[in-house]
Amino acid sequence: MMKTRKPSPPLAKECGTLKPVEPCPRKEVRRLLAEVRQADRQVKSGHYIKNEDMKAWLLSWGTDHELLVPKCACGSSEF
């Protein structure tokens, strides 16, 4: 019975060979993607602050009629 030689996986252990002080770039990308996905979920579920509301609020700073913190687009003031 012939034993077939296992092909070594090319660059499969790439991340494991990095020094501990250097964060794995793949982990960093995953973290960013997770953040984007979370923000995306909030928008899709209707929980976000409208861009124009946010802008108007920021522009009101330092004026005589400062606006209240903009409300969540769903209507509640959870933010």
Residues that bind Zn ion (CB under 5 A): 47, 72, 74
Torsional class of 40: left (φ above 0), alpha (ψ -120 to 50), beta (otherwise): alpha
Instruction: Work out how close the CB of 38 gets to Zn ion at its nearest, in angstroms, rounded to a whole number.
Output: 14
Contact predicate 79/49, CB 8 Å: yes
- The smaller minimum CB distance to Zn ion, of residues 47 and 57, is found at 47
Whether the CB-CB separation of 50 and 69 falls below 8 Å is answered with no
Q: Quote the least distance from Cβ 47 to Zn ion, whole Å.
A: 4
Closer by beta carbon to Zn ion, 23 or else 46: 46
